[in-house]
């Protein structure tokens, strides 16, 4: 039965590994106690007891006896009795959940004081002032947190007494004044609660314990947990701890400290100290603290013991710790410790410092940092300060700092960028047509849409700075301007600065500095140089080790020689996705138009012949940039109408021309073609392999361009490794038809050049049917590459371009998913299809090469999944390559 259940543990009975049961504070108090550090004795009531209390509305029946037993042990250890009239033991009653929830719940100090024991405390301590100060603190904290009285009432009463004494400082009040404060506080309690402040010490303690349990469900705690995704039913533990006093005079005090700088990781003395004060004074900012280093001059021996204790804690926890301590009459007491939070940069620096100190090994260093932290370190930063005018603040959708001239359409962005201008693309919202403009821009600013809007998702994928949902801005794309809430009008060409880490938007140029980590990846900073900074050196060491331990290969998604070269510098081991559609844009649009409008085989072939040398040149440069490494080229994927004018726009143009009586033949022909190719659901229409099967010669032209480029490359002494990837295959028959045609072309080109260029032929797995029939497809495919963007769309039946703006916000709010399935792979659904395809494919063809080329390839959580299901590589945008290298290693450890 429950009679045997243990609800209370002495500090000497627990350990740091019992966070769930004892809460973080309790587990670490136990750990410090067992290390022999000077922790005041005490005991912890478990989170189990809290859960029982929250469920039943009362404490477990055995709790009172167990608390009595532990209290007796505590009293024996201290040689005092709780609230004794002559020599009282006082305790603190402190909250402490498993997950850190700073400042969210309650703590009551000085429990055990009453009208009698305050006299005993005064005699024992030799300080009346101290005793009355402690008593008024108890009534104030107890009144506020346990009895629920408005804290301002106490503050006003205290201020009144100070005003009567003509001072603003607590320290100017003597024992008599503080006794007066106590009288007024008790009157407040009586008036507000209709009962007296409890004089029975045990009643005080029990009421405080229940109040801590109740504080789990305070409004602010509930909101905090929702935001931080902490389970709402975990409950808090309660720590009852003998009081030590920092408010006993100038030889006493209280402080907080870090074992190293949580901002930079630098070693040194970091913290704040306040003389003659109790713990909450430091946080409340009532008086100014002094830097911890000053403690050395104030109390040398306590300072030295503190330094030794901190270094002891660091080597024990093998990590940066933060601590709370109190000095009572020159004696140091440790009141709290935990592994401390730190910035992304500090995380890397500290991890390698700990390796050098022999506390952890390199594997552990890799575990201690995350891909998200690395990504943060790669964004450029605004140099703080400056006098630019802030226009508004939107959502921080994709971090980084971007400065450029405002432009209001994708076309303008591309045109300005070609002229060498840095631009920021400003839109109400973006859509897939804006892709080229987003690529051309330094950053993207939208007035609508949240963090899963098209702009936000695409920008994050590209590592492009984005502020979205800046609702205060009135964006008028037609007149090429936007208006800020203060009436400032920003026109095309005006310089603005946007900060994707904070969402702030400024008029004019705020200076930026490139991240040192990116300069290192670019080869501009030598990590072994004498003056290399600690961060660069740490990132270098950790990634070098990550590359040794990871099993997953990391490739990149790149379609230009520049991106390919950069990704290679960032550590990419090939290209996993080279999209060919970007090669059909710009000036070449006209050639594509000719291809689409072609009547008869001859016209079509002429159009293809005109495109082929251009394609070949593209591939040649990419093969050179990726010499010796695989380059997976995806044959044309998007629907052809994406290369034609918009149907409505063109119809209007034709109608106007006809009304004026001069519609020309070409435009009419174009309109017919646009009508013919118009689709209601283009994502599910004529695209991918379907295009290759319907437009004669299209894929053959692309394969020939690849083969010609590879042959030339080889003839020039290079080592091209092309892989031809067929998109959107759903049935093996589709793949077989294209494969046959492609092999013929490859053979022809090899023969005419007299070289043997091998090209693997494989398929994307992005239609659910392909995943389900992978065992049939594998015999015709030398590799699979999971196109998880389309696979997610088609598995969920979500049109990505529509749903993100339309209702993802609501889905995230309602908790239908915690994160967009386009951001982080949906393991249960889409992931299940990946597993089925891996299993079926490998069964049919054991040497089948498996990779992934969706956005998910650079998402930390998804990378862990791809490792677990046994893929050979992930492929992601160049800026995510280092992130994927790191996360692939973390998945392998």
Interacting residues toward ligand ADP by CB under 6 A: 40, 92, 94, 103, 107, 109, 241-244, 279-280, 324, 326, 335-336
Q: Tell me how far, at minimum, the Cβ of 19 lies from ligand ADP, in Å.
A: 14
Q: Which residue has the closest beta carbon to Mg ion? A: 790
Between 246 and 553, CB nearer to ligand ADP: 246
Helix %, strand %, coil % of the chain (to 5): 50, 15, 30
Distance between CA atoms of residues 52 and 490, nearest Å: 59
| 468 catalytically annotated | no
Cβ proximity to ligand ADP, 279 vs 638, nearer residue: 279
**DSSP string spanning 255-296?**
EEEEEE-TTT--EEEEEEEEES--THHHHHTSS--EEGGGHH
Among Mg ion, ligand ADP, none, partner that 10 touches (CB below 5 to 8 angstroms by kind):
none
Q: Cβ 92 to ligand ADP, closest distance in Å? A: 3
Among ligand ADP, Mg ion, none, what binds residue 263 when CB lies within 5 to 8 Å by partner kind? Answer: none
> Please, what is the minimum distance in Å from the beta carbon of residue 96 to ligand ADP?
7
The option from Mg ion, ligand ADP, none interacting with 314 (CB < 5 to 8 A, set by class) reads none
* Candidates 70, 177, 454, 867; catalytic one: 454
Q: List the strands of the sheet with 389-393, edge to edge.
A: 389-393, 504-507, 495-499, 401-407, 423-427, 443-446, 465-468, 395-398
Euclidean distance between the first and final Cα of the chain, in Å? 42
Which residues on neighbouring strands pair with residue 472, listed in sequence order? Answer: none
CB 710, CB 618: distance < 8 Å: no
Q: Which does 790 bind (CB under 5 to 8 A by kind): Mg ion, ligand ADP, none?
A: Mg ion
Q: Which DSSP category does 146 fall into?
A: I
The site string for Mg ion over 757-776 (x = CB under 5 A, - otherwise) reads ---------x----------
Q: Nearest to ligand ADP by Cβ — which residue?
A: 279
Distance of CA 317 to the CA centre of its chain: 25
* Cβ nearer to ligand ADP, comparing 90 with 577: 90
Which CB, 337 or 353, lies closer to Mg ion?
A: 337
Our answer to whether residue 466 is catalytic in this structure is: no
Q: Which residue is it, tokens 């009531």? A: 45
Q: Which of 417, 790, 823, 826 binds Mg ion (CB under 5 A)?
A: 790
Closest to 592 measured CA to CA, from 698, 491, 713: 698
Chain centre distance of CA 384: 22
DSSP alpha helices (H): ranges in 91-199? 117-125, 128-141, 151-164, 175-193
- Residue 334 DSSP symbol: E
Looking at the Cβ atoms of 324 and 492, the one nearer to ligand ADP is: 324
Q: Which is nearer to Mg ion, 432 or 508 (CB)?
A: 432
Shortest reach from residue 475's CB to Mg ion, in Å = 31
Q: How far is CA 530 from the centre of its chain?
A: 33
Q: Should residue 322 be labelled a site residue for Mg ion when binding is judged by CB under 5 A? A: no
Would the annotation count 233 as a binding residue?
A: no
The residue with tokens 């690529």 is 439
Catalytic residue among 641, 853, 864, 876: 853
All residues at 6 or more sequence positions from 174 whose CB lies less than 8 Å from its CB, including other chains: 129
User: Encoding tokens for residue 667?
Assistant: 């435009």
The answer to whether residues 406 and 426 touch, using CB atoms and an 8 Å cutoff, is: yes
Enter the tokens of residue 601: 């085989």
782 binds, among Mg ion, ligand ADP, none (CB under 5 to 8 A by kind): none
Q: Which two tokens stand for residue 31?
A: 């750990």
Residue 411 interacting entry, from Mg ion, ligand ADP, none, C-beta within 5 to 8 Å by type: none
Distance CA 103, CA 101 (A): 6
Q: Which residues pair with 870 in a beta bridge?
A: none
Q: The tokens of 312 are what? A: 């002891």
Residue 790 among known ligand-binding residues? yes
Distance of closest approach, residue 101 Cβ to Mg ion, in angstroms:
11
Binding site partner of 804, from Mg ion, ligand ADP, none, Cβ cut-off 5-8 A by kind: none
The binder of Mg ion chosen from 252, 336, 392, 763 (CB under 5 A)? 336
688 binds, among Mg ion, ligand ADP, none (CB under 5 to 8 A by kind): none
Q: How far is CA 433 from CA 4, 281, 409, 438, 574, in A?
A: 68, 57, 10, 9, 28
Look at residue 787 and give the partner it binds from Mg ion, ligand ADP, none, a contact being a CB closer than 5 to 8 Å depending on partner kind.
Mg ion
CB-wise, 219 or 531, nearer to ligand ADP?
A: 219
Least separation in angstroms between CB 790 and Mg ion? 4
Query: How far is the C-alpha of 67 from the C-alpha of 209, rounded, in Å?
Result: 11
What ranges in 496-588 are assigned the alpha helix state H?
A: 516-521, 534-549, 561-569
Find which of Mg ion, ligand ADP, none residue 465 binds, CB within 5 to 8 Å per kind.
none
Directed axis angle between helix 561-569 and helix 600-625, to 10°?
30
- Among the listed residues 503, 501, 477, 504, the one whose alpha carbon sits nearest the alpha carbon of residue 490: 477
Please identify, using beta-carbon distances, which residue of 336 and 452 lies nearer to Mg ion. Answer: 336
**Can you give the three-state secondary structure of 419-439, one letter per residue?**
CCCCEEEEECCCCHHHHHHHH
In whole angstroms, the minimum distance from the beta carbon of 335 to ligand ADP comes to: 4
The pair of three-digit structure tokens given for residue 440, joined into one six-digit string: 């051309």
**Residue 281 interacting with Mg ion (CB under 5 A):** no
Question: For residue 232, how many other CB atoms are within 10 A of its CB?
Answer: 12
**Which residue, 787 or 841, is less far from Mg ion as judged by CB?**
787
Q: Is 766 annotated as a binding residue?
A: yes
Number of residues located near Mg ion, criterion CB under 5 A: 5
Options 394, 730, 787, 840; binder of Mg ion; rule CB under 5 A: 787
Are 125 and 248 in contact by the 8 Å Cβ rule? The answer is yes
Choice between 243 and 468, CB closer to ligand ADP: 243
Q: Report the C-alpha gap between 227 and 235 in whole angstroms.
A: 17
Separation of alpha carbons 592 and 610, rounded Å:
10
Nearest Cα residue to 830 out of 859, 867, 860, 787: 787
Cα-only R_g, the chain: 34
> What's the rounded Cα separation, in Å, for the pair 641 and 678?
7
Q: Which is nearer to ligand ADP, 248 or 852 (CB)?
A: 248
User: Binding site annotation covers 789?
Assistant: yes
280 binds, among ligand ADP, Mg ion, none (CB under 5 to 8 A by kind): ligand ADP
Q: Which residues pair with 761 in a beta bridge?
A: 724
Q: Does 463 bind Mg ion (CB under 5 A)?
A: no
Dihedral sign, Cα of residue 2, residue 3, residue 5, residue 7: positive
Distance separating alpha carbons of residues 446 and 411, to the nearest angstrom: 16
Is 276 marked within a binding site?
no
Give the residue ranges of the annotated binding site for substrate.
Answer: 579, 634, 766, 787-790
Binding site, annotated residues? 579, 634, 766, 787-790
**Which residues are designated catalytic?**
454, 853
- Binding-site residue set for Mg(2+): 766, 790
Contact footprint for Mg ion (CB under 5 A): 324, 336, 766, 787, 790
């Amino acid at each position: 039965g429950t009679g045997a259940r243990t609800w209370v543990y002495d500090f000497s009975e627990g350990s740091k590994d019992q966070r769930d049961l004892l809460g973080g504070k309790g587990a670490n108090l136990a750990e410090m106690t067992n290390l022999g550090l000077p922790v005041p004795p005490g005991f912890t009531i478990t989170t189990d007891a809290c859960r029982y209390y929250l469920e039943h509305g009362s404490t477990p029946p055995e709790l009172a006896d167990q608390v009595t037993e532990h209290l007796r042990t505590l009293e024996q250890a201290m040689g005092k009795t709780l609230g004794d009239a002559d020599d009282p033991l006082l305790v603190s009653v402190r909250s402490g959940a498993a997950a850190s929830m700073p400042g969210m719940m309650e703590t009551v100090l000085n429990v055990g004081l009453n009208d009698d024991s305050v006299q005993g405390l005064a005699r024992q301590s030799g300080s009346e002032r101290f005793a009355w100060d402690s008593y008024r603190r108890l009534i104030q904290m107890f009144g506020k947190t346990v009895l629920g009285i408005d804290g301002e009432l106490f503050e006003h009463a205290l201020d009144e007494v100070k005003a009567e004494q003509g001072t603003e400082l607590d320290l100017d009040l003597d024992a008599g004044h503080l006794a007066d404060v106590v009288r007024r506080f008790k009157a407040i309690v009586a008036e507000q609660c209709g009962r007296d402040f409890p004089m029975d010490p045990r009643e005080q303690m029990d009421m405080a314990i229940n109040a801590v349990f109740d504080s789990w469900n305070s409004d602010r705690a509930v909101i905090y947990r929702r935001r931080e995704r902490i389970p709402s039913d975990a409950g808090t533990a309660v720590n009852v701890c003998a009081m030590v006093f920092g408010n006993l005079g100038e030889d006493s005090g209280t402080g907080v400290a870090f074992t190293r700088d949580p901002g930079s990781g630098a070693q040194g003395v970091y913290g704040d100290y306040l003389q003659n004060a109790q713990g909450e004074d430091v946080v409340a900012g009532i008086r100014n603290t002094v830097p911890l280093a000053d403690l050395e001059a104030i109390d040398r021996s306590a300072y030295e013991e503190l330094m030794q204790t901190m270094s002891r804690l660091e080597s024990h926890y093998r990590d940066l710790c933060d601590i709370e301590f109190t000095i009572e009459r020159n004696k140091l007491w440790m009141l709290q410790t935990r592994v401390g939070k730190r910035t992304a940069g500090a995380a890397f620096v500290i991890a390698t410092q700990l390796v050098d100190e022999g506390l952890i090994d390199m594997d552990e260093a890799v575990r201690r940092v995350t891909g998200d932290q690395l990504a943060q370190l790669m964004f450029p930063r605004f140099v703080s300060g400056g006098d630019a005018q802030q226009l508004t603040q939107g959502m921080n959708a994709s971090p980084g700092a971007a400065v450029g001239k405002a432009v209001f359409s994708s076309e303008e962005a591309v045109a300005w960028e070609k002229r060498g201008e840095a631009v920021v693309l400003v839109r109400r919202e973006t859509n897939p047509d804006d892709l080229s403009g987003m690529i051309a821009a330094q950053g993207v600013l939208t007035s609508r849409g949240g963090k899963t809007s098209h702009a936000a998702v695409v920008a994050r994928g590209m590592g492009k700075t984005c502020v979205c949902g800046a609702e205060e801005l009135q964006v008028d794309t037609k007149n090429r301007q936007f208006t800020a809430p203060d009436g400032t009008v920003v026109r095309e060409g005006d310089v603005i600065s946007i900060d994707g880490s904070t969402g702030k938007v400024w008029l004019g140029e705020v200076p930026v500095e490139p991240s040192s980590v990116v300069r290192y990846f670019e080869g501009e900073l030598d990590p072994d140089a004498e003056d290399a900074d600690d961060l660069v050196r740490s990132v270098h060491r950790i990634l070098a080790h990550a590359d040794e331990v990871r099993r997953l290969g990391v490739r990149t998604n790149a379609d230009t020689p520049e991106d390919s070269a950069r990704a290679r510098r960032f550590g990419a081991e090939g290209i996993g996705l080279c999209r060919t559609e970007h090669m059909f844009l710009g000036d070449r649009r006209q050639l594509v138009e000719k291809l689409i409008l072609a009547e008869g085989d001859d016209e079509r072939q002429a159009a293809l012949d005109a495109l082929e040398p251009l394609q070949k040149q593209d591939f040649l440069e990419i093969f050179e940039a990726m010499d010796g490494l695989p380059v997976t080229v995806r044959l044309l994927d998007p629907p052809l109408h994406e290369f034609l004018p918009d149907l409505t726009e063109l119809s209007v143009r034709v109608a106007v021309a006809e009304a004026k009586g001069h519609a020309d033949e070409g435009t009419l022909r174009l309109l017919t073609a646009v009508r013919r190719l118009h689709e209601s659901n283009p994502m599910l229409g004529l695209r991918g392999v379907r295009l290759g099967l319907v437009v004669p010669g299209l894929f053959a032209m692309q394969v020939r361009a690849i083969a010609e480029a590879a042959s030339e490359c080889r003839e020039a002494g290079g080592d091209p490794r092309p892989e031809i990837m067929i998109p959107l295959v759903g049935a093996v028959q589709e793949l077989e038809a294209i494969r046959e045609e492609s092999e013929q072309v490859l053979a022809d080109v090899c023969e005419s050049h007299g070289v043997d260029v091998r090209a693997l032929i494989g398929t994307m797995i992005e239609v659910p049917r392909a995943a389900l029939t992978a065992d049939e497809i594998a015999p015709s495919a030398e590799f699979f590459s999971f196109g998880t963007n389309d696979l997610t769309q088609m598995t969920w039946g979500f049109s990505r371009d529509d749903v993100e703006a339309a209702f993802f916000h609501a889905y995230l709010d309602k908790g239908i998913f915690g994160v967009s399935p386009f951001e982080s792979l949906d393991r249960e659904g889409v992931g299940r299809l990946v597993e089925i395809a891996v299993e079926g494919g490998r069964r049919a063809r054991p040497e089948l090469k498996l990779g992934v080329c969706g956005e998910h390839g650079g998402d930390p959580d998804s990378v862990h999944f791809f490792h677990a299901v046994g893929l050979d590589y992930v492929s992601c945008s160049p800026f995510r390559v280092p992130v994927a290298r790191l996360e692939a290693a973390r998945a392998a450890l």
